[in-house]
Amino acid sequence: MPQYTTKSITNRFILFSEQKLLPFLNKYKKKIFWTVFSIFLLGFSVLAAYVMFTKPHYIDVHISEEIQEKQNGFLDSFMKAVSWFGRIRVSAVLVACSALYFLLLKRKKDALLLLSTLISGGIAWVLKTLINRPRPTKDFVSILEETHYQSFPSGHVLFYTVFFGALIFILIRTIKKYPPLKISGILICLAMIFLGAVSRVYLGAHWFTDVLGGFMVGIIFLLIAGNIYFQNSKT
């Protein structure tokens, strides 16, 4: 049997991307973009209408109970630490420092992509105001983090999706330089998006549908931003 090392797996992945995946995406990129965009936009619209006109469903309550069953001192601290990056001031500093780093490297396109993720805060505020869904209460869940403003969609998850998604775009565009390191970075970014979503339900700050809504809006944002970002990969 052939032996697979990290280097050989990485090389196979890059080769597959260059010879199969990228040509396919370039050939059908418009169809893929509009298909995926339409699916997520329709899905979010249906979900938003659902949460506007109904109370928390059994699924929301059940998922919160299942996740919060695992609560303990270590996980409480860990989930609070994961969620900390989504606070308004922290996320603003995180974006500013990341953008400044790429500006110092004279990579303006990467810096602009990261700065654009700040728009997610405004998007979240508008949607929260329009939909006006209350936060989970102590009648249904254990509240480990007191929160303000409306619940849907999750601003934390929206920010995590667009910010770490933007970092994934940057890593993909430069994958040939230090590929094992870049792939590790991509996996870390994906893990942060997932953990950020779980943390909001774990802490009792959001329902599952809030988190799902934030993720869907984040994907819609990334589809638009990514389409612009990859239009001219040489700049």
The whole-number pLDDT of residue 235 equals 45
Mean per-residue pLDDT for 147-161? 91
User: 171-190 pLDDT, tens per residue?
Assistant: 988 776 777 788 889 999 99
pLDDT at 4 over 70: no
pTM of the model: 0.86
Rounded to an integer, what distance in angstroms lies between the CA atom of residue 64 and that of residue 43?
Answer: 22
pLDDT at 28 over 70: no
Rounded to an integer, what distance in angstroms lies between the CA atom of residue 20 and that of residue 13?
Answer: 10
Burial class of residue 64 in the structure, from the number of CB atoms within 10 Å of its CB (0-12 exposed, 13-18 middle, 19+ buried): buried
